[in-house]
Amino acid sequence: MMSYFLYMFFMTPILFMNFWYSYQFLYMIFILFFIFNYSNMGMTSISYFFGIDYISYNLIILSFYIIMLMNLASINIFNKNFFCFVNYLIVFLLYLIFSSLNMLIMYMSFEFILIPLMILIVGWGYQPERLSSSIYLFFYTLFGSLPLFVFIIFFYNNLGTLNFFFSLKFNFNFFMHLLMILPFLVKLPMFMLHFWLPKAHVQAPVSGSMILAGLMLKIGGYGIIRFIYLNEYFFYTYSYIWVSFGLLGCVMVSLICLVQVDMKCLIAYSSISHMSLCLLGVGTLNKFGLLGSLIMMISHGLCSSGLFCLANICYLRVNTRSLYLIKGMISFMPSLSLFWFLFLSFNMGCPPSINFVSELLIFMSSLSYFDYSYIYFSLSSFICACFSFYLYSYSQHGSFSYLYSYSDIKVSEFLLCICHLFPLILLLFMFIIL
């Protein structure tokens, strides 16, 4: 583990030497080292309060990959050296969060990651409202995570350790249970705690939207999964609350998507709907639900990030994200329409996609927990298909002001879309082979 930390540490000087392509190359080499040096035997690489299991392993690779795509999406951004340093700091903190075996280290990384994320939104955001949206993000996360610090003190006073492998054998009430998982419910975000996410997405640059949808939401799901093992009995006792919020949230937020006119707002609300399904899968405390939630987090991280990239490509050409003004993009950029169709098909869980596998596993686990959950689940899947068709038909069809077709897309943007799409297809073939 420490070798990976040292590799990342000694890459720092390259960020300030205008060697952008060298940095990307070394970063890809680092990802390959991490993938092939892992032994898939439970918890491994344990050293200095850090370790990796199969959950954190997948999320760490997703973090590295999304950060690499963020740099690729922002190749023409101003002040590139400082921008790459902010991204580097974010991925380093994400690495600490996903590989930490100590609650305090995880909590400190969880808090400190707000600073580079706010710099990203305020420094490279679009509208003047980006300051208010970053304040929303800061205070929602701050007020949600301070109760976790109280729980960490309570845990240390009673057990004398902050390791995740110890279990709380004594009883505590629902208030302590809420303190334990509230910051992760805010970060997920759970329905009723989601108001910061659309504001942050709309004002953030494309790289900020990619990291919010692709990685920051996954911290919430990972934290809930990690804290389940501290006291399974109380998660089992109060799981009906989180299952209810998951079922209600995926339906209500899907309905909200149908009235959105901003492309980024619609994609952001669809992220909340999918994360409600993750909360549903984790709340069932079932093997299928846990596996389905993990696959959902990985597939959604790639799919939602790709959709934000497509929305940004359209925004750079027509200078608007309003679905009332964006019409006939299939005539304006016909080569991009295929990527819109594929990503939206994956987003609504069409049968050949990896998203369909995750939704099927969550559906099976929810049926074992609550017999009538199929009503909510079917309604959510139908509405998700509706707003995906709504986004595609409104943006791609209609009459554009030009009378001829042409494609004004750069090769780097095609590469960005293919890099988002290729892992989704590769994971699908891996599941078919297995």
What does the pLDDT read at residue 38?
64
- Give the mean model confidence (pLDDT) for residues 389-418: 78
Nearest Cα residue to 202 out of 275, 141, 128: 128
What does the alpha-carbon distance between residue 344 and residue 389 come to, in Å, rounded to a whole number? 8
- Give the mean model confidence (pLDDT) for residues 78-97: 86
- Give the mean model confidence (pLDDT) for residues 110-137: 85
* Secondary structure string (H, E, C) spanning 228-282: HCCCHHHHHHHHHHHHHHHHHHHHHHHHHHCCCCEHHHHHHHHHHHHHHHHHHHH
For residue 377, pLDDT over 80 is answered with: yes
What does the pLDDT read at residue 310?
92
Q: Quick one: which H or E segment has residue 38?
A: none
pTM score above 0.85? yes
For residue 39, pLDDT over 60 is answered with: no
Confidence of residue 122 (pLDDT cuts 50, 70, 90): confident
Q: Quick one: which H or E segment has residue 110?
A: helix 103-112
Contact 284, 243 (CB under 8 A): yes
Confidence of residue 44 (pLDDT cuts 50, 70, 90): low
Confidence of residue 280 (pLDDT cuts 50, 70, 90): very high
Q: Which residues pair with 50 in a beta bridge?
A: 47, 100
For residue 422, pLDDT over 80 is answered with: yes
- Give the mean model confidence (pLDDT) for residues 7-15: 78
- Give the mean model confidence (pLDDT) for residues 364-387: 90
Contact 101, 49 (CB under 8 A): yes
| Percentage of the chain lying above the pLDDT 90 cut | 22
Q: What value does the mean pLDDT of the chain take?
A: 85
- Of residues 253 and 34, more confidence is placed in 253
For residue 374, pLDDT over 80 is answered with: yes
Handedness of CA 105, 107, 108, 114 (dihedral sign): positive
For residue 147, pLDDT over 60 is answered with: yes
For residue 239, pLDDT over 60 is answered with: yes
Query: How close are the terminal C-alpha atoms of the chain, in Å?
Result: 29
For residue 103, pLDDT over 70 is answered with: yes
**Range with lowest mean pLDDT among 122-126, 190-194, 207-211:** 122-126
pLDDT digit string, tens, across residues 284-303: 988 899 999 999 999 999 99
Q: Which residues contact 378 (CB under 8 A, 6 or more apart)?
A: none
pLDDT digit string, tens, across residues 12-28: 777 777 777 777 788 88
Give backbone dihedrals phi and psi of 305, rounded to 5 degrees, phi first.
-60, -40
Contact 201, 272 (CB under 8 A): no
Give backbone dihedrals phi and psi of 297, rounded to 5 degrees, phi first.
-65, -40
Residue type for 108, please? M
Contact 270, 198 (CB under 8 A): no
What does the alpha-carbon distance between residue 194 and residue 209 come to, in Å, rounded to a whole number? 15
Confidence of residue 255 (pLDDT cuts 50, 70, 90): very high
For residue 151, pLDDT over 90 is answered with: no
Burial of residue 136 (CB within 10 Å: 0-12, 13-18, 19+) is: middle
What does the pLDDT read at residue 207?
84
What is the chain's Cα-based Rg? Answer: 21
- Give the mean model confidence (pLDDT) for residues 314-329: 84
For residue 130, pLDDT over 60 is answered with: yes
What does the pLDDT read at residue 124?
85
| Percentage of the chain lying above the pLDDT 70 cut | 94
